[in-house]
Structure 1
Amino acid sequence: MTGDIARIDGSTGGGRTFRYFDFMMAAFVTILLLSNVIGAGKVAVVNLPGIGPWPFGAGVLFFPVSYVLGDVLTEVYGYAHARRCIWAGFAAMLFLAFMSWVVVALPPAADWGNQAAYEAVFGQVPRIVFASIAAFWAGEFVNSFVLAKMKIWTQGRMLWTRTIGSTVFGEGVDSALFYPLAFLGATGWTTELVITVALTQWGIKTLWEAVLTPVTYGIVGFLKRREGVDVFDTDTDFSPFRIGAKGR
């Protein structure tokens, strides 16, 4: 169905089979894995006019995109479908963490001299892994819940208010959990530094959401027209502890 958008109350999607949902789930999980593999371990630097070198975690380039995709999933397909994607991402992150530990722990061949470099890139501190997974899980569910509720309150108008508003809450929960769980009490991390970094990352991630608003509008508009639905979570069971894509 193209150009004929039907309002669906509840997260079942009216029993429809969606054409692009699987692609969106794949993109969501891919971004999560990228942010944890090639972004989380590197501290980059950018020269800011009048300030000078400013260090930042490279993962900030990837991870906020998962919130954009989470917003799109909830806006187009409803909370229950977004919940399914969050659990898929959660499982993928657990598997990534486990396999990274297994591969790093395997004894290297005697003539292979890259073990130290491999450990530096893929070796993961259990505390940070736990913090990352817990913060992602809680933050994404808060993000999806807030957006679904705001969509009802705004009657589907002013998409930007709920994409940015839900990110403020979702990324706020994510940062508030991750940095204390990962670094509070760790060597070199004072309480003040943990709070400062958490607030800085929260602000940057929220700003990313605002900057990407035109992209979000484009993706949401395309998917709603192609799928032919606009889901409102008026009768949805918002418990995060469900896997199915049905709202009740």
Structure 2
Amino acid sequence: MIDGRPRPHPQAVSAGSVRQFRHYDVLMAAFVAILLLSNVLGAGKVAVVDLPGVGPWPFGAGILFFPVSYVIGDVLTEVYGYAHARRVVWTGFAALVFMAVMAWVVVALPPAPAWGNQAAYETVFGQVGRIVAASIAAFWAGEFVNSYVMARMKLWTRGRHLWTRTIGSTVVGEGVDSLIFYPLAFSDAAGFTDALVVRVMLTQWALKVGWEVLLTPVTYAVVGWLKRAEGVDVFDHGTDFSPFARRARAVPR
């Protein structure tokens, strides 16, 4: 039941259908919040865990939560279609750019003489421009590839076997993300050899895909609930898959 009314069965609709969705804005807000927080809180810290039989294993702390944005991206594309996911990706991209500009301006402002935390503030928020640019570019490309593969695979599988789409799209999307970010951010950087960059890139990619696999039952539950709650199951027949399309419209055949 939804607000005392019977819950409708999901209805297969084309991506160009006009609908008023109840939970789309909440997912968009969650996506942007996780994206920003994983970059602010997780990107600057290298953590370490002691793995049995392996020993200390360092990893970027942001990997704990950033892959959740890919899970939300999968849910958005699966339930609402590529065009609605595209809008969320651009919103996240704009938020990342604004955050980077705001951090640069605030760090650069001269501190008051009585405020003695400038060095600590610069350590936390004064991110290297090269890494910020690599992160934004990798996010943009990786998320769009993820949504594209997800939408295309839904058409190929006729809406069956959701796990193949969520995992398959993440393998490709996170692969593109990693291929862009790590070489751009760390090639020729102090302490990073080409072999180390490749090892870190492959390790982080495998861990992100592993997160997607582990969260597959959660994805199934959320997708099923949203399709029932919204009463739709969008298929991207005739969708314009360009990242720069301004609205959901079918391409003339």
Query: Does the alignment reach a TM-score above 0.5?
Result: yes
Letter in 2 for 1:22: D
Structure 2: runs of 5+ lacking an equivalent: 1-5
Cα deviation code 1:17-37 (max 9, x no counterpart)? 000000010011011101110
How far apart, CA to CA, are the structure 1 residues paired with 2:68 and 2:250?
25
1:223 Cα offset (Å): 0.5
1:62 Cα offset (Å): 1.3
Tell me what 2:127 maps to. Answer: 124
Tell me what 2:62 maps to. Answer: 59
Tell me what 2:9 maps to. Answer: 4
CA contact 2:240–2:248 (8 Å) conserved in 1: no
1:244 Cα offset (Å): 2.9
Q: Does 1:78 align with 2:78?
A: no
Give TM-score, length-normalised by structure 2.
0.95
**Where in structure 2 are the equivalents of 1:173-212 lying within 5 Å?**
173-212=176-215
Tell me what 2:159 maps to. Answer: 156
**Where in structure 2 are the equivalents of 1:83-162 lying within 5 Å?**
83-162=86-165
Cα deviation code 1:129-174 (max 9, x no counterpart)? 1000000000000000000000011110110000000000000000
CA contact 2:154–2:160 (8 Å) conserved in 1: yes
CA contact 2:239–2:248 (8 Å) conserved in 1: no
Instruction: Work out the number of aligned pairs and report it.
Output: 246
Identity %: 70
Tell me what 2:3 maps to. Answer: none
How far apart, CA to CA, are the structure 2 residues paired with 1:160 and 1:59?
24
Tell me what 2:227 maps to. Answer: 224
Q: Secondary structure at the match of 2:48?
A: strand
CA contact 1:83–1:243 (8 Å) conserved in 2: no
CA contact 2:8–2:231 (8 Å) conserved in 1: yes
How far apart, CA to CA, are the structure 2 residues paired with 1:28 and 1:246?
24
How far apart, CA to CA, are the structure 2 residues paired with 1:38 and 1:30?
12
How far apart, CA to CA, are the structure 1 residues paired with 2:96 and 2:246?
16
Letter in 2 for 1:89: G
How far apart, CA to CA, are the structure 1 residues paired with 2:60 and 2:90?
25
- After TM superposition, the runs of 4+ consecutive aligned structure 1 residues lying more than 4 A away are 245-248
Structure 1: runs of 5+ lacking an equivalent: none
Q: Secondary structure at the match of 2:223?
A: helix
